[in-house]
């Protein structure tokens, strides 16, 4: 039997034609869905919060670094015991400590005071010469040492904890009659141990002077630069 070769209208589509038409015109996987933008990519208040958090962390880090470099933190690393320094007038009992401190801080050619000059100034005008001392207990300073430590003296006789007073710095001074320190002020009378003979001397300490002549200002090298 011959096939029907007469033309068909659009209304005469076969099921195969319908299927073909459907596959061409409609998406294979359903309607196209617009992809969502991840929330962490959105620009909004969260970025400002992150910047604020970073700034807070930066500030905290800087504060911690400053504390580590502060004089108090440096001192704690150098001095293991309670730091409560006190100024006290020097006396002949401090001659050895002062000499040790002078030798530790100044080379021979620049040393402002030798032992005799130190003794002269401490005996004649000890009220003008000051020392910076701190009390410590030996058990708190087992592995600690500064050059004046051998000259540390007990705070009180018979104290149970054996506390001692150690010198950290000193100022040695005299009185002079001139507006500035002169060469005569730097010296001491050759016979200064004889009070009557040295009373009229123009060398060294002048009891009626009004100018304070500072001959030495020394700090133990072990504690220099810690505030």
Residue-wise pLDDT tens digits, 150-184: 999 998 877 888 899 999 999 999 999 999 999 99
At residue 79, the pLDDT reads 83
At residue 199, the pLDDT reads 83
Name 210's Cβ contacts closer than 8 Å, sequence gap at least 6.
175, 177
Measured torsion, CA atoms of residues 178, 105, 225, 162, in degrees rounded to the nearest 10: -110
Tokens of 64: 């911690």
For 208, phi and psi rounded to 5 degrees?
A: -95, 5
At residue 125, the pLDDT reads 93
The residue length of the chain stands at: 227
At residue 134, the pLDDT reads 93
The CA distance from 25 to 32, in Å, is 13
The answer, as to whether pTM is greater than 0.75, is: no
For the segment 210-220, what is each residue's pLDDT rounded down to a tens digit? 999 999 999 99
Task: Please say whether the beta carbons of 90 and 172 come within 8 A.
Answer: yes
At residue 1, the pLDDT reads 47
Task: Return the domain boundaries, the chain.
Answer: 71-220
At residue 91, the pLDDT reads 96
For 154, phi and psi rounded to 5 degrees?
A: -60, 140
At residue 198, the pLDDT reads 81
The CA distance from 193 to 4, in Å, is 152
At residue 50, the pLDDT reads 77
Kindly list the averaged pLDDT for each block of 10 residues, start to end, along the chain of length 227: 51 53 50 55 60 77 61 71 91 96 82 88 95 92 88 86 93 96 93 86 94 94 80
Q: Which CATH class is domain 71-220?
A: alpha beta
At residue 15, the pLDDT reads 53
């Amino acid at each position: 039997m011959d096939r029907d070769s007469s033309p068909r209208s659009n209304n005469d589509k076969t099921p195969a034609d319908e299927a073909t038409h459907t596959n061409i015109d409609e998406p294979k996987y359903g309607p196209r869905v617009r992809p969502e933008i991840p929330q962490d990519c959105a620009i909004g208040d969260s970025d400002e919060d992150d910047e604020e958090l970073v700034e807070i962390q930066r500030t905290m880090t800087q504060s911690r670094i400053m504390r580590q470099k502060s004089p108090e933190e440096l001192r704690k690393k150098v001095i293991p015991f309670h730091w409560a320094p006190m100024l006290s007038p020097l006396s002949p009992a401090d001659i050895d400590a002062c000499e040790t401190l002078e030798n530790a801080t100044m080379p021979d050619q620049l040393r402002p005071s030798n032992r005799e000059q130190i003794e002269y100034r401490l005996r004649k005008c000890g009220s003008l010469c000051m020392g910076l001392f701190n009390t410590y207990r030996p058990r708190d300073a087992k592995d600690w040492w500064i050059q004046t430590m051998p000259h540390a003296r007990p705070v009180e006789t018979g104290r149970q904890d054996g506390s001692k007073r150690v010198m950290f710095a000193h100022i040695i001074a005299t009185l002079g009659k001139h507006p500035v320190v002169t060469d005569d002020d730097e010296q001491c009378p050759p016979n200064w141990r004889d009070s009557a003979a040295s009373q009229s001397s123009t060398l060294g300490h002048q009891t009626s002077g009004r100018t304070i002549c500072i001959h030495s200002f020394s700090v133990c090298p072990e504690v220099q630069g810690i505030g």
